[in-house]
Structures are given as structure tokens and as C-alpha cells.
Amino acid sequence: MLAVSLMTALLVASCDDSTSNNNQADVIHVDISDDGTGSDVTVDVDTSDDGTGSDVTVDTTQCATPETDCSGVCANLDTDALHCGTCVTACAADESCVAGVCELSCPSGENACSGTCVDLLTDTANCGSCGAGCSGGTCSGGVCSCATGQLLCNGVCADTLTDTANCGSCGNGCPTSGTCDNGVCTCTTGTVACAGSCADLSTDLANCGSCNNACAPTATCDSGICTCAPGLVACSDTCSTLADDVNNCGQCGNACAVGATCISGVCSDCAAGMTNCTGVCANLDSNLDNCGACGDACPTGAACNGGICECAPGEVACTDVCADLASNVDHCGNCTTACANGAACISGTCACPTTAPDLCGGTCVDLTADPANCGQCNNECAIGALCSTTAGTTACVCPTGMVNCTGARCADLSSDPEFCGACNTSCAVGQSCISGACTDCPTGQVVCNGVCVDLTSDVLHCGACRNECPTGASCTSGVCECPTGDVNCGTACADLATSIDHCGACGNDCPAGASCTSGTCVCPTGEVACNGGCADLSTDVTNCGACGTSCAVGQSCISGACTDCPTGQVVCNGVCVDLTSDVLHCGACRNECPTGASCTSGVCECPTGDVNCGTACADLATSIDHCGACGNDCPAGASCTSGTCVCPTGEVACNGGCADLSTDVTNCGACGRDCPLDATCVSGQCQCPTGLLACNGLCVDVSTDLNNCGSCQ
């Protein structure tokens, strides 16, 4: 084949009859393909004519094994750094070609491991070979040596007697929070190994009673038993009331159709005359939250009659409340006009009462007696002074027995340590003012809050000023002591044998309804302790006859036995009820009638003359909670007369309550005028206890107070 190919090439060259320069060398490169023998030959044919007839020459070359022709260059792709692996791959300057792969060129005695030159004889991260770890040990001669008692485990020297990752043997890991003792994984007392962690099977929600036994999210794990709250049953991942749960109606997983309700564990439509409003059966003719249509709520004070919200006669709907525009202080004359603080709404017009006839800054005041507005608005009297009007003249005056020494406050010269006996006389620190004279405290006493006290016996200052003893304790030799048999439980002395707040131990509260006997919480007669609460086994559907015994859906617990309900009754909250007459379940479970209403044929009805005010039926003419309109609460102490709130004689309405301005420390002399802490209100004036001064809203002893030393700061 080689001969034929060569001859063909020569014939092609010799048959060129074109004219040319006889001295020009024409070279044809002919590549003769492999014929199966492994010989690839390149032939250069010189076709120039020198006139002798012998102008054709042939040059044949071949790369020696294992080299490869790379564009005319023979290269060993396994070792050539310029042609490493392929003809076009060149290694970097600091790399060499090894087995056709560019590798880092390391100094003699080192090897490349992950791009770094290391000594495999000594490197603890690459001991003997790349990646062979020897953490915690020594690498010598390429062999890892661990300390006595340790083993090489996955590149780390480990003490298999104590290592929780290699306990007893390499790779044997202990559970989370476990320990390794003498090569054995151990959980702490009271816990066991579950799925790689130590768990307390008595309380662990994910491992309750046994490993991987998970409780529902809303359940608790009590003594290894998943427990739902009384009346609930564990269904998959939730605690459910099977009697009315639309997703678990009657039994777990039994979901009612969209729009249906679950009544006594049976999926059903609402009772006749009722409509399902987002899972609630409502009578659209009378339901205040769904009047005429689901979601249409009536204003506060309105009634729903025949599906139409109606305010009481004489009232109009003001956004979300029914109001009598003739008397409502928030909607006086129209829905948007609110009366000033202390004012009344009379025939649709705001008016200040006779006890506070003047208007100052939106508040009704008496300019003849208000210390904050004496004679005119914002004319404030000195601290402790009274606003008095005599013979038509209004002025600030100090109470009898007190004088104004600074223009800012009234002082009692007989007891005030800052002005003791005279306006220019101040007592020394540690003295009190007694009968107008600065006096040292009796031997054994010190001044606390302006009063001489005995720190050895005063329960409010026991051992030190303001060190108050617990309730029930006494102060003996400066030490608070509880009565014999009682224990100091922080804020109070307690008899651990009888205290329901500290039964058997401080802070151990008994369940609601239980008593504490001999340090043990005891349930009332007829009840027993079940799952952290008291239960009557004769009536409790979740503990019927015995703790933990639950009645089936549709049954009630009667005399400790689960019993089906009589015909015409259903179970609501574990009790058989008649939905046509039960005021707590009128027409549907949990549809409670307002206080005072009756349930007739499954519909709540208020007595004649009363109005349904949501939670109660009310006579708007006399009800202090719904005076004149539903939701209109009278101030504390007031009465409701003909639909109008009236304060007792001598009191006025202040900030939602009735107040006697002559004695009320939060409304002293005027609504909203607070007296300092510990002060009293006398004849409408704030007065601090003897020996104390009013400083920045507090009664303080300027002889001892660090923030007001010597005088108010």
C-alpha cells in the first residue's frame, strides 16, 4: 500500500504540464495514513526540475514510541511539561508533568499534598501519605505514634476510655449529652439513649415513654404518657375536642365537609334557622356579630332584630356605637363632638358642672378653689398651698400652721427639717425637727425618711433604712424573723404545712380549688388528683370513674359511668344539654346567651324592656355598665339615673371615676392633680408626712436624701 500511495503521489507531481521556472523548488507534503502496521509516514516530494530528469526527492520521518507528534514536535505526553497529557496543555513554571498530570515540583524529600509541599516522614497532617492524619500524636519515619492508652481513630489520637466520639472503639460515638466512662457510653441518671441523644422518657415530648414516641405539639409528656388537656384527645399532631372539631369530628381524622359543623361528634349542617358563619352557627335574625349576613356586626349598644341592626329609641349609630346625642359626652349633639374632661352633655350641648364651672385647657375646673388654676387658668399655687376665695378675692394661701418660706412650697415650721422653727433655720444631717427645734434622735435611733426609727425593731427599717421585713415577720435585733413554725419565702412568712402558695416548699402552689394539709395539696371532697389537676370522677368525661378513663364521643359521665345522652340532647363540653333551652348552649354548643336572657327554641331572648348588649341584657335607664347606651360605663362610684351617670353628692367625674377633690390624692383640688407618693390630700391640698418635703413628685427627707440633700434639687 505504501508503494502504491507513493507512486500515485509521484505521478501527480510529474504530470504537471504548467510552465514554470526550472530552478524553482516545488515541494508537495503528502501524509500517508496508517495502513494498520503502526507506521505513520510523512513524505516531502520535491518536484523541481533541474533538467536532469531526477528532480523528485522523498523525505520520510516518524516519532519514536511513546512520543506523539505535536505539530511537528515529538513529545512524551506523560512527562513533557509543555505537552502534559495533551499536546496543548503546558504546566506552570513550578510544576512538572507526572503521568500526564501537572504536579507541584517540590524540593528533594518532600511531596505535593493538596497543593502544598510536605515531608511525609514528619507531617502530622500527611503522615506516610497525603491525607493520612496524626492529630494529637507524633509522625516519625512516616509512621503515626499516639500516646500510651490512645488509638489512632480516623486520623486522630483518641482515648477510647473517655472520648465520646470514639468510645470503646474507633468510630463508636456516644449520644448527645452522654458521657464515655471506661469505654462505655452512658446517659445521665434518668435518661436513655434515643436516636443519638439522651432523653428523659418521662418528660421528653419527642420520646415520651419510649424512644421516638412523639407527643402532639399542644400535649405534655407526664410520667411517660402523652397527655392532652382535660376534654381533649390526641389526634396525629394536635390535641382535639372530638365533639366539635371539624377536622376530627367524632374520631381522629374524620374531617367534615367545607361549610359543615361538628355537633356532638357528628358532622352536620347548622340547626334549623341557623347559618354557618366561619364555623359558627348563627341566627342571622338576632346575632350581633352576624346580623342579616355573616360578618355584619352591629354597633355597640344596638340590637339585631329581623337581621337589621337597630339602636335604642333616641339613639343614633356613631360608627361602632349607638349614642344618645343629647347626653353622650363622647358624641354630644353630633357623632363627632366630644365634651371636655369633667364636662357633661346636656340637651346636646357640652357644659361644665356647677362644681367646676370654668374651662381651662379642655378641662372643667373651679377657678375659686383649684390650686392649679387659682383665680385664672394656669396660675398654680405653691406646693401644699390652698386656693381660697374670701370676700370675692381668690388667692393662694398656706394651710393653718404652715408658712410659705420660699414662694414654692408651704412649710410646717414645727416639723420641717429644712425650715425648723424659722424660715432660715435648717437642721443638720441626722437631725429631725421636733416642735420647731432641731433635735438629735434618741440614743439608739437614726433618721429614716425624716423619722427617727430604731433599726433593731422597726419592720420597715430592720437593720438598715428601707430594709422591709416580709409580711408577717418581726424585727428582732435588726434581723427579720418569721413566727415559730413559719419559713421566710421572700415576700412573706409562710406555714409550709398549710399555705396554698407555699405548700411543703416555698413557691409550690396548689392547684386551683385544692387546699394544703400537712404540706400536701389536697383536692376538695369528692375530687381526686388526676394529671396535675383535681377531678370529680363521678362527672368528669376525661376521668370518668378513674383517672384517664375518657367517655366516648356523645356520652356524658354520670355517677362515674359513661352514659349516652337522652333523646333530644347532645354532649357539649362533656355534659348532656338541650340546645333548645340551655342558655350556655343555645341552638349550638358554646353559643352562650347574654346574662339575664333565656333560651327559647334555640334562640336567646332578653326580658321585655331590656336590650341585648352583647354579654348581658341591660336596662339602659338604670344599668351602670350600660347607662343610656350599651357599653357606656358609669364612673366608679356613680349611679345611673334615667340613662345618665350621676356621681354622689360632693364628688365630680374625673378621668373615668367619681372623685372628692378635697381628699382624693390622685385628684387633689382638681381632676388629674396627683399628690406626691406618701402624701395625703387635705381640703384639696397635698400634704407630706411630718418631716418630709415634696420634691419632684416625691415626699423626701432632705436631711438624708442623696438626691435632695438639704433642699429640693
Task: Tell me the pLDDT tens digit for each residue of 283-307.
Answer: 788 777 888 998 888 888 777 878 8
- Say what the pLDDT of residue 56 is: 42
- Helix H or strand E encompassing 350: strand 349-351
Backbone torsions φ then ψ of 8, nearest 5 degrees: -60, -45
Which amino acid is it at 196?
A: G
CB 255 within 8 A of CB 262: no
Lookup: cell for 337 = 363632638
- By the 10 Å C-beta count (0-12 exposed, 13-18 middle, 19+ buried), 111 is classed as middle
pLDDT in tens, 153-171: 988 999 888 888 888 889 8
CB 113 within 8 A of CB 103: no
Secondary structure, 3-state, 122-151: CCCCCCCCCCCCCECCEEECCEEECCCCCE
CB 685 within 8 A of CB 429: no
CA distance 413 to 420: 5
| Confidence bin at 443 (pLDDT 50/70/90) | confident
Hunting for cell 518532600 — which residue is that?
110
Please compute the mean of the pLDDT values over residues 641-668 and round it to a whole number. Answer: 84
Please compute the mean of the pLDDT values over residues 179-195 and round it to a whole number. Answer: 83
Angle at 437 between CA 433 and CA 438, to 5 degrees: 55
Hunting for cell 359626652 — which residue is that?
329
| Dihedral sign (CA 65, 69, 73, 76) | negative
CB 365 within 8 A of CB 372: yes
Secondary structure of residue 281 in the 3-state scheme: strand
| More confident call, 469 vs 464 | 469
Least confident window among 31-35, 222-226, 323-327, 467-471 = 31-35
For 202-253, the DSSP string reads TT-TTSSSSTT-PPPTT-EEETTEEEPPTT-EEETTEEE-TTT-TTSSSSTT
CA distance 459 to 476: 9
pLDDT in tens, 199-222: 888 888 888 888 888 887 677 888
Secondary structure of residue 503 in the 3-state scheme: coil
CA distance 139 to 149: 17
Hunting for cell 398654680 — which residue is that?
380
CA distance 1 to 233: 94
| Confidence bin at 598 (pLDDT 50/70/90) | very high
| Confidence bin at 700 (pLDDT 50/70/90) | confident
Least confident window among 502-511, 576-585, 614-623 = 502-511
| Dihedral sign (CA 276, 281, 282, 288) | negative
- Helix H or strand E encompassing 390: strand 386-390
Backbone torsions φ then ψ of 45, nearest 5 degrees: -110, 115
Lookup: cell for 567 = 333523646
Q: Please choose, from the candidates 516, 544, 538, 560, the residue with its C-alpha nearest in 3D space to the C-alpha of residue 524.
A: 516
Q: Is there a cis peptide before residue 66, judged by omega within 30 degrees of 0?
A: yes
CA distance 709 to 711: 6
Which amino acid is it at 562?
A: C
| Confidence bin at 446 (pLDDT 50/70/90) | confident
CA distance 67 to 80: 10
Hunting for cell 500515485 — which residue is that?
8
Neighbours of 126 (CB within 10 A): 22
Backbone torsions φ then ψ of 3, nearest 5 degrees: -65, -45
Lookup: cell for 472 = 408577717
pLDDT of 29 higher than 60: no
CA distances from 143 to 136, 156, 601 (A): 13, 13, 94
Backbone torsions φ then ψ of 124, nearest 5 degrees: -70, -15
- Say what the pLDDT of residue 279 is: 58
For 8-60, the DSSP string reads HHHHHHHT--S---TT---EEEEEEPP-SSS--EEEEEE----SSS---EEEE
| Exposure b/e, 139-165, CB count within 10 A at least 16 = b | beebebebeeebebbebbbbbbeebbe
Least confident window among 18-22, 350-354, 497-501, 615-619 = 18-22
Determine if residue 79 is left, alpha or beta; phi over 0 gives left, psi from -120 to 50 gives alpha, anything else beta: alpha
- Say what the pLDDT of residue 596 is: 92
Secondary structure of residue 403 in the 3-state scheme: strand
CA distance 143 to 128: 6
Q: Which residues contact 594 (CB under 8 A, 6 or more apart)?
A: 604, 606, 612, 613, 614, 615, 616, 617
Question: Could you state, in order of their start, the residue ranges of all structural domains in the chain?
Answer: 538-545+568-605
pLDDT of 126 higher than 60: yes
User: pTM score > 0.75 for this model?
Assistant: no
Q: Which residues contact 393 (CB under 8 A, 6 or more apart)?
A: none
Percent of the chain scored above 70 by pLDDT? Answer: 87
- Say what the pLDDT of residue 345 is: 83
**Average pLDDT of the chain, as a whole number:** 79
User: Could you tell me the end-to-end alpha-carbon distance of the chain, in angstroms, rounded to an integer?
Assistant: 122
Lookup: cell for 514 = 385544692
pLDDT of 104 higher than 90: no
CB 551 within 8 A of CB 575: no
pLDDT of 320 higher than 60: yes
CB 106 within 8 A of CB 112: yes
Lookup: cell for 97 = 508533568
- Say what the pLDDT of residue 5 is: 38
- Say what the pLDDT of residue 477 is: 92
| Dihedral sign (CA 525, 528, 533, 539) | negative
CB 534 within 8 A of CB 511: yes
Q: Beta partners for 652?
A: 659
